[in-house]
Amino acid sequence: MIKVLLKFFGLAIFFSVSCMLLLILFFWVYLVVNSTGILVSYDNYLFQKKIREHLLLGAHEVSVKELATFEWDAICIYPPYCDKFYDSSGNILNEIEGSVSTDDNIYNVQFMSHGRQVAVLQIKRWTLSNSFLNDLKSDCFTDKARFVFNDQGLTTIME
């Protein structure tokens, strides 16, 4: 009887420890992959792919909610060479956390949730129409934001 109990509890303990080690390994792999930027790169790839698909299908508008694969409640658009918003007095209203590309062919889209940055994805210049390029200033929008397209590309962002 005692041998059966020891064998049973030994298996239960072995199984519990094995499961715990697997969870720790999974969490560690997630942290490593997330810290290397692989997940952000994939989100960026999906974001740009979905914009491209809507352009090719001739869509007139799309909710930004449909383009992101994560939870967010506000977005801020930053034109090339820009990673901060300023008010008229020169105070910083908002800025991108961490380093991002400020190349002349990239518009950064900062996704926020409850006032905190959750991701920064890019819109490539080739997807934008000339009117978008000329009219857009740094601006923030709620989760009701939608991209509006014409035959030249993305024209504006509306709520």
Task: Give CA–CA dist 27/22, Å, rounded.
Answer: 9
Element (H, E) at 59: none
Q: Which residues contact 4 (CB under 8 A, 6 or more apart)?
A: none
More confident residue, 10 or 70: 70
Is the distance from CB of 104 to CB of 81 less than 8 angstroms?
yes
Task: Give me the pLDDT at residue 38, please.
Answer: 46
More confident residue, 104 or 49: 49
Task: Give CA–CA dist 134/149, Å, rounded.
Answer: 15
> What phi-psi label fits residue 114: left (phi over 0), alpha (psi between -120 and 50 degrees) or beta?
left
Give the pLDDT band (50/70/90) at residue 14.
low
Give the pLDDT band (50/70/90) at residue 41.
confident
More confident residue, 46 or 101: 46
Cα distances from 24 to residues 14, 29, 32, 34, in angstroms, run 15, 9, 12, 15
Global pTM reads 0.64
- Residue 36 pLDDT greater than 50, yes or no: no
More confident residue, 138 or 89: 89
Give the pLDDT band (50/70/90) at residue 26.
low
Burial (CB < 10 A; 0-12, 13-18, 19+), residue 51, is buried
More confident residue, 38 or 73: 73
Q: Which residues pair with 146 in a beta bridge?
A: 63, 158
